Amino acid sequence: MRKLFLLVLLSTLLFSKNPDVYAALGDVIYNNVDNISKLKDINQFSVYKDKIEKYTQKVNATKAFGFKIEQGEPNFDKKTYLSSLRALSRDNDFFLRLAKKFYEDSITTENSQLFSEIINSGLINTDEHKQEIIDYYFAHQEDINASGVIQAFLDADAGLRGKKETELKNIKSKRERELERIKQIREKDKREQEALEQKLQKELEAKKKEVREEQKRELLKTR
């Protein structure tokens, strides 16, 4: 019976993603840590690289501590574990606020790359901001790859897919019109340049002729 209990306990620990001790607090931290770690790859978070790395190390160490408690290891008490979780929870909230700030900044400054990186970071409540995200996408879709969160929204909504296709056609038509207008302007500039060169050439030839005539008259006077 004891062997069976130990086997069940071992299986639970192996397949449990996070420690069960204070899971309501710990799960939020442990489930976010990978997403927070990936913030290092976003240019705007480069100044926080060391802080992110230290935070990740602390989370991993605390998680291991939690599993030790579940295993009944001596010298691993719940009070110390809870204190560590509370400190990590404050850091977790800091990174969530930071992600939210950069999300808002990306919209204000129309930084589409940052916008795309943040909404796909897993640290923003995209359902809460769905309409705002969709509105920004349709206003800047020339600069945004729809993969990830945006594509999921489009796939789930036939109306949005239709709007995307229409907008893409409009963008293509707009580009074609712009290219045609540029072509016409260049052709007009070319014609004007050729006309100007011809005019200058005629004026030059007329001037040369005038000079030659003047030289002839001067020669006749000296005879």
pLDDT given at position 15: 43
- Those residues with Cβ within 8 angstroms of residue 46's Cβ, 6 or more apart along the chain or in another chain: 40
pLDDT given at position 14: 44
Relative orientation angle of helices 112-119 and 130-140, to the nearest 10 degrees:
150
Q: How far apart are CA 98 and CA 86, in angstroms?
A: 19
pLDDT given at position 199: 78
pLDDT given at position 183: 62
pLDDT given at position 164: 53
- Could you tell me the end-to-end alpha-carbon distance of the chain, in angstroms, rounded to an integer? 141
Residue 59 CB-half CA count within 13 A:
25
Is 8 found in the same domain as 97? yes
Is 99 found in the same domain as 181? no
pLDDT digits (tens, 9 = 90+) for 35-84: 999 999 999 999 999 999 999 999 999 999 999 998 988 888 899 999 99
**Among candidate residues 110, 136, 168, the one where a domain is terminated:** 110
195, part of any domain:
yes
72, part of any domain:
yes
**Among candidate residues 57, 76, 110, the one where a domain is terminated:** 110
The number of beta carbons lying within 10 Å of the beta carbon of residue 146 is 15
Is 184 found in the same domain as 88? no
98, part of any domain:
yes
DSSP class of 44: G
15, part of any domain:
yes
Q: Does the global pTM surpass 0.95?
A: no
Relative orientation angle of helices 158-222 and 149-156, to the nearest 10 degrees:
120
Torsion angle in degrees (nearest 10) through CA of 3, 7, 9, 14: 160
192, part of any domain:
yes
117, part of any domain:
no
pLDDT given at position 11: 46
What's the whole-number average pLDDT of the chain? 82
CA of 153: how far to CAs of 110, 129, 146, 166, in Å?
20, 11, 10, 16
Low-confidence ranges of the chain (pLDDT < 50): 1, 4-5, 7-8, 10-15
Domain that holds residue 66: 2-110
Is 101 found in the same domain as 9? yes
pLDDT digits (tens, 9 = 90+) for 181-191: 666 677 677 77
